[in-house]
Structure 1
Amino acid sequence: MIYQGVLKKMPTENLETVQYYLELGSDFLNMNQLLEKNLELNFVHYQCLSCGLDKEIYRQGFCKSCFFDIPSAGDWIMRPELSTAHLGIADRDLDYEKSVQLQPHIVYLANSSNVKVGVTRKSQIPTRWIDQGAHEALEIVEVPNRYLAGVTEVALKEFVADKTNWRTMLKNEIEDVDLLAWRQKLKAHIPQEALPYFIDNQKETELHFPVNKYPKKPKSLNLVKSQSFQGKLVGIKGQYLIFEDETVFNIRANEGLFVSLSIVSG
């Protein structure tokens, strides 16, 4: 069976073990069921997630012209402290920006490769943590808009990391840490405008990923360059497919690629 379609971030479900799904065209695949199967991936062409044209992907699944034009790729996406919808000031499309920015946001701690601080919409918990490959996470602050979450993150990243080392995350070289203690330690550095929204009654969330074998030296697959890849799927963590030969493929980083996927054997 051959499946074809444009890559998009895998939807997930937080059960006893995280469940991953891949949408390709009209097909909806449970990727957990493909563990220990030999898969073949082929690059077919580009397909921008916005305009749908066969144009080289620039960032976030969009071609260059769309990336610098559409409201869902504004700078405030990656830098929430730049959000201005709460002031009634538009970046690219005020109605869209209000719909995203003016809703509850969470500032959190996650342990994926190390303890890091991050921001996400409340509706994206625990999806955001799963996408980052965090095996434990904890809310710090719940604020009413993206701007407050952003300025809180900026303040806290002076004292804790804000990036994940993807290689360390995939190798599973992670130490359990006391996120509750970290939350209390960071409380003193939360900006005054966000301090009333501090959360002190939430417990850590633990996540368990479907990985049979972690890579010791993960090597990233560039499917556009190689055009084709075949290997046995042995794990999924974050948005990465992990193969037996230690090749890893980041679905999220390859959004906008139209691919074919086939199960070779097993």
Structure 2
Amino acid sequence: MRYEGVLTKMRTEITDKVQYYLIFEDDFINMNQLLGKTLSINFLRYQCLNCGLQKKIFRQGYCYDCFNSIPQAGDWVISPELSKAHLDEEDRDLEFEKRAQLQPHVVYLANSSDVKVGVTRRSQIPTRWIDQGAHEAIEIVEVPNRYLAGITEVALKSHVSDKTNWRKMLTNDVLDLDLAEIRENLKQYIPEEAREYYLANNKETEIEFPVLEFPKKIKTLNLGKTPFYEGVLKGIKGQYLLFEDGTVFNVRGHEGFVIELQVK
């Protein structure tokens, strides 16, 4: 079987185990069905996810010009505390920013390698947790806009990490933690503006990933440096494909790369 298309992050749905789908323009693949099979990945060219031109990808699937101009790549995306739509202030496109920022957001705890705090839109749960490779997660607050979520995250990350150790996550070097207890301990640090939105009764969400075998040592595949790779797929976690020889491939990190994928 042969497929060709531009990479975007895998779509997911949560069942007993997470189901992963690689979506191309004219086709899609249920990646779970490829576990145990030999895959070859051949990098063909770049294609910016915004302008569609064959220009080198700079970041997040966008070429340099698009990344520095489109509202989807504004600083508030990575740093929610910089959001200003609630003040009616424009960054790059106020109407877009209002749609994205002025909707319910959640500050959460996720355990991928160790406990971390993060922010996402309510509509992106549990997708965000799956993308981070979290085997358990819990909400802390649900607030009406991105700014309130951002300042809450900033306050809490003085007491708990906001980073994932992706190597530990991919080797499954993780522990089960009592996230509800950690949430309760962090409650005192929530900014006053967000305290009324504290979620005291939400339960942990547990997530199981489709992995036949976790790698013991990891080597990353960068298609910009190594344009061809072949190996046996042993698992999928977060947005990573895990191969038998310890190679891991970050699909989301290669958004905007046009590839040929063959299943043997």
TM-score (norm 2): 0.99
Shift of 1:25: 2.5
Shift of 1:227: 1.1
Q: Distance in 2 between matches of 1:244 and 1:137?
A: 28
Q: Which amino acid aligns with 1:96?
A: F
> For residue 178 of structure 1, what is the aligned residue in structure 2?
178
Question: Is residue 138 from structure 1 mapped to residue 127 from structure 2 by the alignment?
Answer: no
**Residue deviations 1:147-168 (CA, integer Å, cap 9, x gap):** 0000000000000000001100
Misfit runs of 4+, over 4 Å:
none
Q: Distance in 2 between matches of 1:221 and 1:76?
A: 29
Counterpart of 2:192 in 1: which secondary structure?
coil
Q: Which amino acid aligns with 2:106?
A: I
Question: Is residue 69 from structure 1 mapped to residue 63 from structure 2 by the alignment?
Answer: no
Counterpart of 2:224 in 1: which secondary structure?
helix
Question: Is residue 17 from structure 1 mapped to residue 14 from structure 2 by the alignment?
Answer: no
Q: Distance in 2 between matches of 1:111 and 1:148?
A: 22
Shift of 1:225: 1.3
Counterpart of 1:193 in 2: which secondary structure?
helix
Counterpart of 2:193 in 1: which secondary structure?
coil
Q: Which amino acid aligns with 2:105?
A: H
% same residue: 64
Aligned-residue Cα RMSD (Å) equals 0.5
Q: List aligned pairs for 1:221-260, cutoff 5 A.
A: 221-260=221-260
Uncovered stretches (5+) of structure 2, i.e. residues with no partner: none
> For residue 26 of structure 2, what is the aligned residue in structure 1?
26
Q: Distance in 1 between matches of 2:143 and 2:128?
A: 17
Q: Distance in 2 between matches of 1:19 and 1:57?
A: 28
Shift of 1:2: 1.2
> For residue 3 of structure 1, what is the aligned residue in structure 2?
3
Q: List aligned pairs for 1:117-196, cutoff 5 A.
A: 117-196=117-196
Q: Distance in 2 between matches of 1:35 and 1:186?
A: 40
Counterpart of 2:200 in 1: which secondary structure?
coil
Q: Distance in 1 between matches of 2:34 and 2:170?
A: 19
Q: Distance in 1 between matches of 2:204 and 2:40?
A: 38
Counterpart of 1:223 in 2: which secondary structure?
coil
Q: Distance in 2 between matches of 1:27 and 1:218?
A: 30
**Residue deviations 1:124-152 (CA, integer Å, cap 9, x gap):** 00000000000000000000000000000
Number of positions where the alignment pairs a residue of Structure 1 with one of Structure 2: 264
Q: Distance in 2 between matches of 1:158 and 1:63?
A: 34
> For residue 36 of structure 1, what is the aligned residue in structure 2?
36
Q: Distance in 1 between matches of 2:242 and 2:30?
A: 15
